[in-house]
Amino acid sequence: MTSDRLPTLLRLARGLCAAGVLAWLFVAGLAGFAVASPDTSFSSFVESLWPPAQARGVTRATFDAAFKGVTPDPALIGIVDRQTEFVKPIWENLASALSAQRVSQGKAKAAQWADMLARMEKVFGVDRYAVLAIWGMETGYGAFIGKQNVIRVLATLAYAKYQGDFAKEELLDALDILQAGDVTPAQLRGSWAGAMGQTQFLPSSFKAFAVDFDGDGRRDIWTSVPDALASTANFLKNQGWSGGQPWGFEVVLPKGFEATHGEESKFAPYSEWKGRGVTRPGGAEMPGSGEATLLIPAGLRGPAFLVTHNFKVIKTYNNSTSYALSVALLGDRIAGRPALVGTWPVKERILDVAEAKELQTRLKDMGYDVGIIDGKIGEQARDAILTYQAKSGLVPDGFPTLALLQRVRAGH
């Protein structure tokens, strides 16, 4: 996230994932857009938005000001053209997320905003380090908040009709924001996917969760750090964040530990994990109460974690294990908590998208529940792999390797 170009696709996927939409559907939508004639009916498309906007209480003056000079954005097509099917291993994402610079900047921001963050924790009951880490991950603590005209981006996407009415609904929400008067059309800036401000809120999230925390009477997630961070805390609170609970922590698994079906979704009390021989590094105690699930994103070859409901709450910001673990561990580093003792299998070649899709397809054909076949090995696919491994007499850990794919290909 060091240039305007680099975050484009990341932000695109992130913005869409945050809304529960898959990036590939976006690609499918714009493929249709590319063959349509983009300019001829754009103005009539915009005009078709007036009745629903008016019904929501948007005035004609606000509507006209929002769309003044707005045309479809051909750069969005270029973004799709540049998109390559490419998946990075989680350890590469983490290495970039936890860069020394991002950690040290996070510590500086934590000190600079300490009083406000304390007040934020008191009001919303959300851990300051999770919020700081989201800020760092989303925009490099406000350094890269996106300069796109949000109305133009969302109008382009809505006109392309990708993913049904998703972009249209966000566009109407953006008009509501303008009507409410928090920002002018010129100030309504964001990413290529319409995510806005210091912590990249979509318009619907802004409407639902943005708060004025610096007391100037406006919700300004673009230039007010207190507003942006408190809005993020409010979002997390409303997704079910439990105050006083950690996101989770690293654990050490005993030799011969066997993961079981549904491990990532089944919460069990800490006492049960202790009973299975799970410990914390350095002899640290498990919390006295609460429950957690096991997360082994690189299988038994990599670090293991017990994660709480708060980890799942972080995933509502961006439904990716890699993202949520980046936020969690970046927050830990900013807080000065110890680094991982486990090591990632950095020499392991992970499956590329085509291979991952093939594995998903073959497992599905064999009757396993792999979820959507998208070439991404998420929670559901890991669980299907784990179940297959257990049934095949392999050590079950849910991590896909080339050897595993070859075994599945051979029909074992």
Tell the smallest beta-carbon distance from residue 82 to Ca ion (Å). Answer: 36
Token representation of residue 71: 């045309």
Among 314, 116, 107, 125, residue whose Cα is nearest residue 229: 116
CB atoms within 10 A of CB 207: 16
Nearer to Ca ion, 215 or 411 (CB): 215
Tell the smallest beta-carbon distance from residue 209 to Ca ion (Å). Answer: 14
Q: Does 182 bind Ca ion (CB under 5 A)?
A: no
Nearer to Ca ion, 8 or 234 (CB): 234
CB atoms within 10 A of CB 265: 11
Tell the smallest beta-carbon distance from residue 144 to Ca ion (Å). Answer: 21
The Cα–Cα gap between 302 and 304 comes to: 7
Contacts of 194 (CB under 8 A, 6+ apart): 15, 148, 150, 153, 154, 157, 167, 170, 174, 202, 203
Nearer to Ca ion, 234 or 308 (CB): 234
Nearer to Ca ion, 119 or 218 (CB): 218
Tell the smallest beta-carbon distance from residue 113 to Ca ion (Å). Answer: 15
Tell the smallest beta-carbon distance from residue 248 to Ca ion (Å). Answer: 33
Nearer to Ca ion, 231 or 318 (CB): 231
Give, as ranges, the residues between 196 and 255 that touch Ca ion (CB under 5 A).
212, 214, 216, 218, 220, 224, 227
Rounded alpha-carbon distances, angstroms, from residue 260 to 113, 204, 253, 266, 297? 43, 38, 13, 10, 14
Spell out, one character per residue from 96 to 135, where the chain touches Ca ion: x when CB under 5 A holds, - when not: ----------------------------------------
Instruction: Give how many residues touch Ca ion by CB under 5 A.
Output: 7
The helix (H) or strand (E) run that includes residue 248 is strand 248-251
Positive or negative, the Cα torsion across 366, 367, 368, 370? Answer: positive
Tell the smallest beta-carbon distance from residue 183 to Ca ion (Å). Answer: 11
| Residue nearest Ca ion (C-beta atom) | 212
Binding residues for Ca ion, rule: CB under 5 A, are 212, 214, 216, 218, 220, 224, 227
